[in-house]
A = this chain, B = another copy of it.
Amino acid sequence: MNQQGILVVISGFSGAGKGTLMKALMEKYDNYALSVSATTRQPRAGEVDGREYFFVSQEHFKSMVENDALIEYAQYVENFYGTPKDYVEKQREAGKDVILEIEIQGALKIKKKFPETLLLFVMPPSAEELKRRLVSRGTEPLEVIEARLKRAAEEAVGIEAYDYIVINDTIDTCVEELHQLIQAQHNKTSNRLDFINEMRKGLSQL
């Protein structure tokens, strides 16, 4: 194959199961690299610096922006989120498919900057199931969950820009679907131009 790794954005409503899916995908296949975003928001219970996010100060984030160290960044409520450039570039050069788990604002910026990016939006099977999952997590009070669902409804406005809707009904099936969609991207004509040119040359020399 010898291709550069592709860039994949995965977004989805909170509670759709993105985190669990990414964990399962990373465990099952070794051709992926999960980009860790930088954020100025406070860590939630159980979150580890450098694993879920790089938790940085407003000042530090500002300096990353100024030093062009982020592929994209976005403000969300009062916090900033950004994708460190260095990691993404190195992993792609090494042939890894790099996955960014980011919000829709950031996703659209990435797509504009890198049109070949594969944008995937993970959805629960239904709105009721999304609420059920968020409630059963038990980590947040009902009013926070309701705010989150309201946000989800608002986020749904931008979904049309994504390439595929992936419905997370059962984790295993969904992981396989994600894997196949991402691997198929390597065969997109735009990612196969070298092969096509080689074929042309080969045919003309027969």
What is the CA–CA distance of A15 and B20 in the complex, to the nearest angstrom? 44
Contact present for B165 and A196 (CB under 8 Å): yes
Known A128-B202, A153-B200; contact A195-B164, beta-carbon cutoff 8 A: no
- Chain B residues, Cβ within 8 Å of A169: none
Question: Secondary structure of the A side of the interface?
Answer: helix
Contact present for B180 and A164 (CB under 8 Å): no
What is the CA–CA distance of A118 and B39 in the complex, to the nearest angstrom? 39
- Chain B residues, Cβ within 8 Å of A131: 206
- Chain B residues, Cβ within 8 Å of A180: 180, 184
What is the CA–CA distance of A131 and B205 in the complex, to the nearest angstrom? 11
A181 touches B (CB below 8 Å): yes
- Output the least CB separation between A9 and chain B (Å): 13
10 sample A-B contacts, Cβ–Cβ < 8 Å, listed by A number: A127-B202, A131-B206, A156-B199, A159-B196, A160-B196, A161-B189, A163-B189, A165-B188, A180-B184, A181-B184
The 8 closest A-B pairs by CB, nearest first: A127-B202, A153-B203, A165-B192, A127-B203, A156-B200, A164-B187, A180-B180, A162-B189
